[in-house]
Structure 1
Amino acid sequence: MNLAQFPRRRYTTGSTPIQPLNRLSDLLGGPSLYIKRDDMLGLAGGGNKARKLEFLMADAIAQGADMVITCGAVQSNHCRLTLAAAVQEGLQCHLVIEERVPGSYRPDASGNNFLFHLMGVDGMTVVPPDTNMMLAMQEVAERLSRQGRRPYIIPGGGSNAIGATGYIACADELESQLFDEALNIDTVVCASGSGGTHAGLVAGFHGSNSRIPVVGINVRFPKEQQEDTIYRLASEAADRVGVLSVIPRENVVCFDEYVGPGYSLPTSEMVEAVNLVARLEGILLDPVYTGKAMAGLIGLIRQGYFTKSQRVLFLHTGGWPALFAYTDLFYADWARNQ
């Protein structure tokens, strides 16, 4: 794979670090846990979408766009980072926000919503649950085009073949780090949402023949639906970068037992995971993605899915600014446990 052939903007200098999670590993009695800190990527507050946006923003600029349109949920990390990238590039940004949980949108909310306004978002359209988000973005694009703008649409989560290229590049970065550090990882675990991160890793590891398995912890959709999405996107991304062999369907593994009542809705396992990682490792997870993904990793360890002798790497996809929209939840949990 020659990834240098693809236009790319750079929002991060160097590689994100890999750290051992020694205290969490000891508490759980194994396996040996490690974390790749993609929460330390560039742009405002860090997170996995920065890798996708390096390729997506380069494509937008190459097409002569003067603004980007993207979408996400009420506390969307993707929207925050897309807006930050647009600000750096001198482009305008319009956000289409889906109120996936009825009544959850507040224009004066904290967390990412506050950051949208702090960074000077150029427009926001709030739509109800189950809206066709691509159609909603196209309607905004048509309206703005009539005003003389040149909009570029970025799909939710930046998850198309262009965006997933960012995590094919991450797979390459990770393999190089593991070699340099003489660290042999048995499995990578990540949150599986819009799919670009999970799919890019699957495509990247397959393309390099590293055979590192990737386990996705679903944050929204049922297992079969999510696995189909990841497989399709991984195949499209692999084809884009020139991977010649077909990705085996069994390379895509998802668990949906940790979604709870729905996307962004809290679970006791998520609260436990966020608290444990903060208090044992000093690392902040978010309630929507990494908190549920870590809850899934902990749950799989307790079920014996991973052996005590294995080495498992958790990909931290960022999102901690959303914590500030969930403070009441954590204060209530601490009060109950005093």
Structure 2
Amino acid sequence: MSIAYPDRVKLANVPTPLQPLDRISQLYSKPYGGPRLWVKRDDLTESAMSGNKLRKLEFIIAEALATGCDTLITCGGEQSNHCRATALAAAKMGLKSHLILRGGAAPVSGEDADGNLLVDYVAGANVSIYPLRQYLDELPALFAHWARHYETMGGRALCIPTGGSDGLGIWGYIQAAEELAQDFQQHDIEPEHIVCATGSGGTQAGLTLGGYLLGAGYQVTGYAVCDDNDYFVRKVIDDVSDWCRRYDKTLAPERLNIAVNDRYIGPGYGVADAAVYETIAKLAQTEALLLDPVYTGKAFHGLLEEIKAGTYEGCRDLVFVHTGGQFGVFPHRAHFQRP
């Protein structure tokens, strides 16, 4: 099937590689009758803006430019990968960026910034950090406030939802699904499963919809890093429904086979337990693959636990989509054991 895409700007280095994880497969999958593991290296979309968010931003920024916007406003946690990528992508395209960030009880100040937040400041983003309760209660009003602020200055802002996950951003992973089809042909494999971390739902929605449009036979499963199964099923349906409305498509979302595993969230969003840190170290020491404690580390840990439990017994090939986030490792340095 040929898919007609809207305009996009070129930001990501794609196609990204699809690589086998043979050492991890031999150590932690094959003993349980599990699959050969592969990784789609979307952490390599670009060195500083790296990760899944960049695929979405190609379409989002094209929309911003087409509608005369000079500022991108978006939101997320203090260590948001999406916000960091947005700040850098905006700078590259000559746009301003304003980040509405969710802080803890004592939000981090600029001089104490680390990881993604440090990069936000380096990239020249305007950063507004709000206490958790205010952020949750007032986010729509905060978007409206800052959009009006830029209007009074003679500008125009595009407001981007959490993670760039909506009917516009979803195009990034519809396109990635097409890219994966080419990868599978090149490597002569037919994976039964594709796994990714799911936090704002857009990557899972795009892969699920893309696979459906292509008639692919694999199951996409999002390993939740926050919220629960019902939330993410609704979020994927909402993103697909928004896509249908925007682009005059007809698709009953219930025809999509939406799968979510919410058993490995741990203590909460952005908080990992010791087993996740051990998994991150394990991947670094066996495959030189760096995961993060917020998204990919939790998802890959959950995947290994499910393999051990026999969930993927008899499966030949499984692809893990590495959505990036390595900058998020550094604020968690105290949790990694040193020799």
Is TM more than 0.5 here? yes
After TM superposition, give the deviation of residue 2 of structure 1 in Å.
5.3
Are positions 1:288 and 2:294 aligned together? yes
Contact 2:8 2:59 (C-alpha < 8 Å) held by counterparts:
yes
| Among 71, 86, 92, the residue aligned to 1:88 | 92
Residue of structure 2 equivalent to 1:319: 325
**SS in structure 2 of the partner of residue 93 of structure 1:** strand
Give the whole-Å Cα distance in 1 for the aligned partners of 2:248 and 2:17: 28
Alignment-mate amino acid for residue 131 of structure 2: P
Residue of structure 2 equivalent to 1:60: 64
Percent identity of paired positions between Structure 1 and Structure 2 = 36
User: 1:38-117 residue pairs with structure 2 within 5 A?
Assistant: 38-42=42-46, 44-99=48-103, 101-103=104-106, 105-107=108-110, 108-117=112-121
Cα deviations across residues 161-198 of structure 1 (Å, max 9, x unaligned)?
00011100100111111112211111000011111100
**SS in structure 2 of the partner of residue 315 of structure 1:** strand
Alignment-mate amino acid for residue 35 of structure 2: P
**SS in structure 1 of the partner of residue 291 of structure 2:** coil
TM-score (norm 1): 0.92
Residue segments in structure 1 that go unaligned for 5+ positions in a row: none
Are positions 1:128 and 2:131 aligned together? yes
| Among 171, 176, 183, the residue aligned to 2:182 | 176
After TM superposition, give the deviation of residue 105 of structure 1 in Å.
2.9
Which of structure 1's runs of 4+ aligned residues deviate more than 6 A? Answer: none
Distance 1:275 1:23, change over 3 A: same
Alignment-mate amino acid for residue 19 of structure 1: Q
**SS in structure 1 of the partner of residue 39 of structure 2:** strand
- What is the count of residue pairs matched by the alignment? 331
Contact 1:111 1:324 (C-alpha < 8 Å) held by counterparts:
yes
Residue of structure 2 equivalent to 1:196: 202
Distance 1:311 1:104, change over 3 A: farther
Contact 1:219 1:263 (C-alpha < 8 Å) held by counterparts:
yes
Residue segments in structure 2 that go unaligned for 5+ positions in a row: none
Give the whole-Å Cα distance in 2 for the aligned partners of 1:267 and 1:172: 35
Distance 1:226 1:13, change over 3 A: closer
Are positions 1:186 and 2:206 aligned together? no
**SS in structure 2 of the partner of residue 46 of structure 1:** coil
Mean alpha-carbon deviation: is it higher for 237-246 or for 261-270?
237-246
Residue of structure 2 equivalent to 1:22: 22
Give the whole-Å Cα distance in 1 for the aligned partners of 2:17 and 2:252: 31
Alignment-mate amino acid for residue 46 of structure 2: G
**SS in structure 2 of the partner of residue 163 of structure 1:** coil
Residue of structure 2 equivalent to 1:214: 220
Give the whole-Å Cα distance in 2 for the aligned partners of 1:133 and 1:43: 30
Cα deviations across residues 77-109 of structure 1 (Å, max 9, x unaligned)?
00111011101110111110012x433534322
Alignment-mate amino acid for residue 102 of structure 1: A
Q: What is the alpha-carbon root mean square deviation over aligned residues?
A: 1.8
Alignment-mate amino acid for residue 128 of structure 2: T
Contact 1:216 1:253 (C-alpha < 8 Å) held by counterparts:
yes
After TM superposition, give the deviation of residue 300 of structure 1 in Å.
0.9
TM-score (norm 2): 0.92
Give the whole-Å Cα distance in 1 for the aligned partners of 2:176 and 2:222: 16
Give the whole-Å Cα distance in 1 for the aligned partners of 2:24 and 2:244: 35
Distance 1:276 1:43, change over 3 A: closer
Residue of structure 1 equivalent to 2:163: 157
Contact 2:21 2:38 (C-alpha < 8 Å) held by counterparts:
yes
Mean alpha-carbon deviation: is it higher for 142-151 or for 181-190?
142-151
Distance 1:5 1:323, change over 3 A: closer
Residue of structure 2 equivalent to 1:10: 10
